[in-house]
Structures are given as C-alpha cells and as structure tokens.
Structure 1
Amino acid sequence: MSLRMRVRRSVVTAVACALLAGASMSCTGGSAPAEGRATDLLDGRDWAHFAGAKPTPSGVRITRLDRRITRQDGSGGQPNPPVNLRGPHLVFRGDIRIEARLRHTDGTDAYLHLYGETPVVYDEWRRERRGVRIGVAGGRLRFDRWDGDSDRPALTRTFGKGFGDEVRLAVEVRGDRLVLEADGNVVGTVPGRNVFGHGRIWFGADAGGGGEGWTLGGLRAMPLGRGRMSVRDAPGLKVPRSTDALRDLAADLQRPIRLGTALAAGPLLTDGAYRRTAGEEFSMLTPENDFKAQFVQPRRGVFAFEEGDTLVDFADANGMQVHAHTLVWFEALPSWMRAEMTHEDRRRVMTEHIRAVAGHFRGKVAEWDVVNEPMSDEDEDYTNGNRGVRPHLWFDAMGEQYMDIAFRTAREADPQAVLYLNEYGVEEDGPRWDALYALLIRLKKRGVPIDGVGFQNHEYAADDRTDPEAFRRKVRALAALGLKARVSEMDVLVGEGEEDAQARQFAGKLTVCREEPNCTSFSTWGFTDGYGSTADIRNYPPSPGNALPWDAEYEAKPTYWALRDALGRSVDGAGL
C-alpha cells in the first residue's frame, strides 16, 4: 500500500470513527496497522468441493441453495448454509484483515461467513458455534455474530444503504473488536466477544433474496501489525491404519462382515480424532445426513452433492464401503417437496429425485436405503386397511406401490447396488414386525427388486431393549424369503451405571449378525458421544448423550471392548 493510500485510509477511518461515536458505537482511530503480505484464498484453492459453489474465471459463483433443516413434523426451517470444509482456512495470532469482493446483479443477497468454530450438524439439527456473517442485503451492509449459545445471532447490525452491484468488503480482527469496511470506508466497529478466540477461521458463503446467486470475485487475508497468519488446506482423507481394529476382526471372520458407522462431513474434516477413529475402526460408513433430501436437493433441480462426495471420497481413501441413506423418506424433506401438488407430480418428484441422487453416486456406493421407515406408529393403521404402512405424502399419492416404484427406479439408476428397506422397532415380536413381514411377502410377490432389510436397533429406554434371540428369529425369517439383513443404526441410551447393559445389547446383536449367514453388516449410528444424535438439545450447547461405544473424549467404553469380544469368539464360544 502506498503512503498516499495509507494517509487516505487513516483520514477516512478518523472521520468515520467520529460519526460512529455520535451513534454510541465504538470505533478505532488513528492510522491503520502495518499490513503483511496478502494471501489469495481463491486462486489455486479448493472451492470445487463447496456446496453451491462453482469456480469460474471471474471468481467463485455462489448459487442460492435455501438449504434448511426442518423438524421431524416438517415445521420450522433452521438455516443450514454450507461451509467450505475442503478449502482453505486460516490459523492466526494477533490481528488480521480479510478482504472480499462481492458481485450481485439480480437482487440476490450476498453473504460471506467467517466461522471461528465450524457448526455441528447432529441428526437433523444444526448447532451454531462461534462465527460471523457479513454481506449485502437490500442494498445495506448486514452483520451477524453468533456466540455459540443459540441458533440465532447474538448481535445483528445493518450499516449504510444504496450499495451497488459490486461491493468490496473487509473485516479486521483487532484484539476483541471487529472493524467493518465497505468500498474502502469504515462503516462500523463491533465487539468480537472472542468469536475467533481459537485463532482459526473457516469460510462459507450463502445467497438469499429473490435472485439466483452472486460471484465471490476476490478473497484474501493478511496479518496486521505484529500479527501472524498461515493458510491451511483441508487435511488428507487417508488415515494411517493398524491391523487390530474392529474392522480387521470382522474381516478375519470365517464369514467376513462389515463393521460400519454413521459419519458426518463436518467433524471428519475438522476433528482429527474423529477422522482417525472413523478410518481406523470401520469398514463401512453411512452418511448421517448428507444424502437426505433436504440436504442434497434443497431447491427443486438444485443439488448439493459436495458433502456426500466428501464422505464417498473418504471411504474410497480408506478401503471402506458406503451404505447410502436414504432415497425415499417422509422426514428430512425440503419445503418445496412437501408443497401441495397433484399425485402425478408427486410421483414425478420422487422418481426424479431417485434418478438424480442414485445416478450421481452410481458405482460409488455399495448399498442404498431405498425406502426408510415405511411402517406406521399409529395403531389404527394396522386395522384401517393400510396394513400397517404409514400414511404420508408418498403413500397418499401412490399407495403402497410407492415402494415398488422407488425400488424399481433405484435399480435402474444404480444396477449394481444392493437395495434395502430400513426400519426401526421391528427387532422384537409384535404387530409391527408382523406387518413388515407381510409387506415383504407382498413386495416379493410383485417382483419388487428388494435385496434386504436394515434393523435400526435404536434403544433409548428400557422398553426398547430386545432379546438378541428375538432378533435372530427375524434375521432367519428374512433368510427364508431370500433377503439379506443388517444392523443399520444401533445406539443404546443408558442411565448412569448402566454401561454393562449397553455393552451386552451391542455385543448380543453383533453376535447374531456374525452367526447368521444372511446378515452382512453391523453399523452404529455414530461412534462418539461427542457428535451422537442423542445429545440433549434442550440445552445450548447441547449436553452429549451416552449411547455410543466411545465417549465425547474418544475414550473407549465397555461397549467397544464387548464388540471386540463378540468378534473374537467362534459360534460355539471357543476362541478363533
């Protein structure tokens, strides 16, 4: 920066500070700190794996995704903007400056996100941690800051008006203050509240309003004064391995089975212990959320495959198979998919979604949950002619045949994949299992290309505990129909002092799976309580559950050792 430019910037800053002081806002005065060398964060960096983004010669094009997470009943709509997990992030000490150029010409609201801590997406719920968002909405500069104690911003401010189609933004981190600039002018200073206290910044971008998107024409960062900064790319996906993990014990069985778990892309790229444990211990992964409709097709015809691609790439790098979850479900749907439409349109939406998603991952995944949770929770649906099948938008449009259509469409889209129906609460005897078994007979008679059934084995209360021998009878009943079986999503929530009971449940189901020839895999619904779906989200931040084999600090619990024992015993109880 030339001396003339430094003087000009100092004068602008001083004038702006005087104006802001009259508005009871803090601002820095005096000359700007000396700047270090700027580092370009676009050129040569990975933005191709960022959902909704497309690198172009003029910058990174950001498509409006409108990605949101709804509640189980379809209400709400928690914003779920993407994070560039596989792109650059900053590690710094002291003061730094980040500059961005935003171009938007069709009424799009353009936002840049700076995450001090990346968000955590649990099972269909997003925990916002510390970070800020700055952008242009309706011609004004908007700033939001999240402090990690709520889904909503702790601070929201707007500045100026009449910003044009191209805006040059800057954020300076000066101690615990954030100085905001637009087009070379300081427009505000806000308290940072230690939002970047860990000395890291990850980047995200989002679009709102009525337009289709905007272009990030430039992004660079530099240290200020005595500050220090480095730019880090995402870690490699391949994990160094030993040969004594759960997956190795399962592979060494006389009839090998796959040991699997549900994974999320966020911690996979930001938490080294999570990444190492996942790649070391498991030979199959299930995407916890990243293949579900509201994540992968948030707007009709607009797809966000990037997080799912990351999970597939991780599996490929570590010799794992992917059990893809899920193509057709009544939950986790984007709002447009829930909208009123004719039965024919509903059928078209379902089949188009299957063809697009299964087609994108064709040949990259081993298995699909084609239909998820088709059985009803309501007693009346077992006596009113529904034959136990849950009434929902797909059933209303196509009847029970929605499943026939879904499986046939999936088979056409990905001919080599093994196709599953996935259900909970059918491990024990009762009308729910009876109705599912009758449904499977009907599907087989109609020639539906179903290959197997996943038993979720979610056990959240004492009444959910099931005898492994009851489960064995279900697995054998499927074998008589020529169907495979798998434990698909097991977790066991227990009270204090009940870890041994948890261990027995896990080990008992795994023992059945290794002993029954048609049981192909055993998967847990996550593996560490730190990211488990049983976290208590009534608190913020949520307190972890205790339903998984590792605790939140990655200490193996008795359940882990019980799983190892279950893989180390032969059918008759003798050592292998």
Structure 2
Amino acid sequence: MRKNRLAVVGALAAVLVAVTGPAAVAHDEPPTLADLAQRHGRYFGSATDNPELTDAPYVSLLGSEFDQITPGNGMKWYATEPQQGVFDFSQGDEIVDLARANHQKVRGHTLVWHSQLPDWLTGREWTAGELRVVLKKHIQTEVRHYRGKVFAWDVVNEAFNEDGTYRDTIFYRTLGPGYIADALRWAHQADPRVKLYPNDYNIESIGPKSDAYYRLAKELRAQGVPLHGIGLQAHLALQYGYPATLEDNLRRFSRLGLETALTEVDIRMYLPADEEKLATQAEWYGDLTEACLAVRRCVGITLWDYTDKYSWIPAFFEGEGAALPWDEELRPKPAYYAIRDALK
C-alpha cells in the first residue's frame, strides 16, 4: 500500500488543487475528511481550544472538514472547577455550542488526570474519604452538565507508566487503583448513555503499557464496571518508528467487546521539515487511518488540532514540530492527501 499511496497522493493533490480553484462551484467541491470517514461508519475529528476561536479562517475549516470536536483544555479540572465546589463550564460550553452549530459531535476531555489540576486540589493532603467525595462530586457535576451534549468521555487520562505500572498520581496515592473503576461508575451514574474511555499515549503498539490497559479492561469488564472503549492518543514521532502492531492492538481490544478510537493524533518530526520527512509522515497518517478502518470497532480518528499553527508540539518538544496535516498557513500537506487516499 505504501508505495502506491505516495503516487496516488501526488495525483490527488493535483486534482484537488484543480477543483478548489476560483472557478470551482459548490457541487464540484471534493468530499471532506468527515464525508469520507462517514462512508466507513467512522468519524474524523479535530481538537480545538478556546483562544483559537477568534481566527475566522481556522474556525471555518474546523467547521467544514470535521464531524467531531474535542476541547483541548476547556473541560479539564483547572478550567471547570477552579475553586472547590465552584464550577465554570463557560469554555467547554463555547466549544459545545460551536459544534452544535456545525452539526458536530463532541468528545469530553478529560475528567480525571494528574496534570492541569487546580492549586486547591494539589496544594494539600487529603484523606481517602475526603478525596473520594471531591472526585465523585467533580465527575458527576461535569458529566451531568454535559449529559446529552457529548457522545464519549475520556474519563481517566494517562493512568499508567511506560512499564505498565500505575502512575503515581494524587488519585492513585490516596485512593489506590480502584479509583479508575469508581470514576467510571460515577460517570455512568451521571450519564448512563455516554461512552466511557480511559485514554493514554504510547499504547498504540502492543507492549507493557498497552498490556496494562488490556489487563485492566478485562478486569473491569469481568467486574461489570461500565467501560465502553479505549482511547489511543497516537502522539507519534518519526524518530521512534511507526507502531507496526497498531492494527493487532486495536483488534485485541475489539475482541473484549470494546470500541477503540485514535483520540489525539499528531506525528511530529525534527525541524526543519523536508520533502522526505513529510512523505514519511504522510505514509504514517495513511497507515494509521487504514488500521482504524480495518477494525470494525475502531470508531473514529481525532487530530490533536488540525494545523501546525496551533500545535502543542513546539512548546513541549524543543526543535520538533510540523506534526499536523495542515501547515501554519492552513494549507494541506502531503499527510492530508494520504488520509484522503486511505479513506477512499
């Protein structure tokens, strides 16, 4: 598939440039990524963040190309409960309202995470009893607020270390590993219809970390804990190689009766980007799209924002970037055409 794809991508790019020129009329516009994904029963989405919503060209493309949105930050704990018991859903609501106007669905992100917590939560010691009350209230207040407005929640984010041991977080330290099952149960009580996922990075390949999620999923299912899917973030980097066992990994979760989703996709590289790196990146985007399409219970793909203009990568990985299918000028890159090719 790979060799053929690059040739097809080049041809497709030329065709799309032709049909989207000034003379193009509405009925000649090519189908969007969302249109193409829907033909396979999948969604194709993008994360976004509130400060970006003042950028009209960006918002226009966000609203037209995708059928799903994830708020990058606006539903996290620091934003939604900045003071204990004082809730502020304004940032999440803004993105939900935008999605509703564009007939897009929203993935809730995220209820329980060790990062981006408010100071009132991290700045003191809690007993297990106290923290259980705080955690349950936070989860249920937020899930109830967005009941019927989101289709899935990343309930617990990044719970494991690379070696498959539990990450040492305020929740694990104070409550033990049972906090994950409790979080899922509490979220389900607050919205029995929403799909509930754990979500993590570096679990695309079969290995110690993804094995930990596989074991956890089997245990939770055996205990009757509400768990509907596994979110594989898919923050990839060219220097670490493509996760060749991705499709097999998706299949083994599928055999447990679970959905999977690629929830935060980007593929970074050392800068400057060049033709060879962009071609490899395009191959990878095509391959991971094909892997999702090959597994029936892989329900969709979400880019972690769609344009390099708003990528988180340069701020967190020095000397790296160019991770997304659109460049900083909102122009499609080879990766965009590779995704289209895979979705055809």
Task: Provide the TM-score with structure 1 as the length reference.
Answer: 0.53
Query: How far apart, in 2, do the equivalents of 1:363 and 1:313 lie?
Result: 13
Equivalent of 2:284 in 493, 505, 525:
505
CA–CA separation in structure 1 for the residues paired with 2:317 and 2:324: 20
CA gap 1:538/1:514 in 2 versus in 1, 3 angstroms: closer
Q: Does 1:328 align with 2:112?
A: yes
- Partner residue of 1:399? 176
| Alignment partners' CA distance in 2, 1:252 and 1:271 | 30
Query: Counterpart of 1:311 in structure 2: which amino acid?
Result: I
Corresponding position of 2:129: 344
The answer to whether the 8 A contact 1:294-1:334 is kept is: yes
Shift, 1:536, TM fit: 3.5
The aligned counterpart of 2:302 is: 523
Q: Deviations over 1:491-539 (max 9, x none)?
A: 0112322001111111111111112110001111110111101123799
Q: What 5-or-longer segments of structure 1 have no aligned partner?
A: 1-239, 383-387, 569-576
Q: Is the 8 A contact 2:269 2:320 kept in 1?
A: no
Q: Which residue of 1 aligns with 2:263?
A: 488
Aligned length: 313
Q: Distance in 2 between matches of 1:529 and 1:544?
A: 11
Evaluate the alpha carbon distance shift between residue 463 and residue 243 of structure 1 in structure 2; reply closer, same or farther with a 3 A threshold: closer
Letter in 2 for 1:553: E
How many Å apart are 1:461 and its aligned residue? 4.8
Does structure 1 residue 550 correspond to structure 2 residue 326? yes
Over aligned residue pairs, what C-alpha RMSD do you find? 1.9
Structure-1 separation of matches of 2:146 and 2:317? 36
- Matched residue of 1:442: which SS? helix
* Residue equivalent to 1:288: 72
Deviations 1:78-102 (A, max 9, x none): xxxxxxxxxxxxxxxxxxxxxxxxx
Counterpart contact for 1:359–1:413, Cα < 8 Å: yes
Q: Does the 8 Å CA contact 1:531/1:544 hold for their aligned counterparts?
A: no
Equivalence for 2:33:
246
Letter in 2 for 1:305: F
Checking the alignment, whether the CA contact within 8 Å between 1:425 and 1:457 is kept in structure 2 is yes
Distance, in Å, in 2 between the alignment partners of 1:528 and 1:426 is: 24
One of 205, 214, 221 as aligned partner of 1:428: 205
Which protein has the larger Cα radius of gyration, Structure 1 or Structure 2? 1
Q: Distance in 2 between matches of 1:493 and 1:537?
A: 11
Q: Give the AA of the match of 1:454.
A: G
Letter of the 2:88 counterpart: A
Aligned to 1:458: 235
Paired position in structure 1 for 2:143: 358
Gaps of 5+ in 2: 1-25
Amino acid at match of 2:37: A
Tell me if structure 2 keeps the 8 A contact 1:327–1:354: yes
Amino acid at match of 1:375: F
TM-score (normalizing by structure 2):
0.87
Could you tell me whether the CA contact under 8 Å between 1:532 and 1:544 is conserved in 2? no
**CA distance change for structure 1 residues 538 and 545 in 2, over 3 Å: closer, same or farther?**
closer
Aligned 8 A contact 1:347 1:397 in 2:
no
**Partner amino acid, structure 2, of 1:504:** E
**1:545 CA drift (Å):** 2.6
* C-alpha contact 2:205 2:243 (8 A) present in aligned 1: yes
Amino acid at match of 1:529: D
* Partner amino acid, structure 1, of 2:335: T
Shift of 1:252: 2.3
Higher helix share: 2
Superposition deviation, residue 464 in structure 1:
5.0
Query: Greater relative contact order (Cα 8 A, min sep 6): structure 1 or 2?
Result: 2
In 1: Cα distance, 2:259 partner to 2:113 partner: 21
* 2:33/2:44 contact within 8 Å kept: yes
Following superposition, the deviation at residue 414 of structure 1 comes to 1.2
CA distance in 2, matches of 1:343, 1:493: 40
Find the residue that maps to 1:536 and give its secondary structure. Answer: helix
Residue 415 (structure 1) shift: 1.2
Secondary structure of the corresponding residue to residue 287 of structure 2: helix
* Matched residue, 1:408: 185
1:395–1:427 CA distance, 2 compared to 1 (3 A) = same
Say yes or no: does 1:477 pair with 2:257: no
Question: How many angstroms does 1:482 deviate by?
Answer: 0.6
Distance (Å, rounded) in 2 between the aligned partners of 1:321 and 1:437 = 27
Q: Is the 8 A contact 2:126 2:174 kept in 1?
A: no
Matches within 5 A, 1:97-108: none
**Structure having the larger proportion of residues in strand:** 1
What secondary structure is seen at the aligned counterpart in 2 of 1:344?
A: helix
The CA deviation at 1:389 is: 1.7
SS at match of 1:488: strand
1:252 counterpart letter in structure 2? R
Checking the alignment, whether the CA contact within 8 Å between 1:504 and 1:562 is kept in structure 2 is yes
| Residues 1:278 and 2:62 are matched in the alignment | yes
> CA-to-partner distance for each residue in 1:104-140, whole Å, 9 max, x for gaps?
xxxxxxxxxxxxxxxxxxxxxxxxxxxxxxxxxxxxx
The 3-state SS of whatever aligns with 2:220 is helix
Distance verdict in 2 for CA 1:400–1:538, change over 3 Å: closer
Amino acid at match of 1:343: A
Q: Secondary structure at the match of 1:465?
A: coil
State whether residues 247 and 294 of structure 2, in contact with CA within 8 Å, keep that contact through their aligned partners in structure 1: no
Asked if residue 297 in structure 1 is aligned to residue 81 in structure 2, the reply is yes
Q: 1:522, 1:363 → 2: CA distance?
A: 21
Instruction: Report the CA distance between 1:397 and its aligned residue.
Output: 1.9
Q: Do structure 1's residue 372 and structure 2's residue 147 form an aligned pair?
A: no
Give the counterpart letter for 2:299 in structure 1: T
Question: Distance in 1 between the 2:166 and 2:317 partners?
Answer: 32
The reply to whether residue 262 of structure 1 matches residue 47 of structure 2 is yes
Instruction: Using the TM superposition, give the Cα deviation of residue 245 of structure 1 relative to its aligned residue in structure 2, in angstroms.
Output: 0.9
Q: 2:10 corresponds to which residue?
A: none
**Distance in 1 (alpha carbons) for counterparts of 2:177 and 2:56:** 45
Would the alpha carbon gap of residues 464 and 443 (structure 1) be closer, same or farther in structure 2, given more than 3 Å must change? farther
Deviations 1:475-504 (A, max 9, x none): 110111110001110101123220011111
Instruction: Please name the residue that 2:19 is paired with.
Output: none
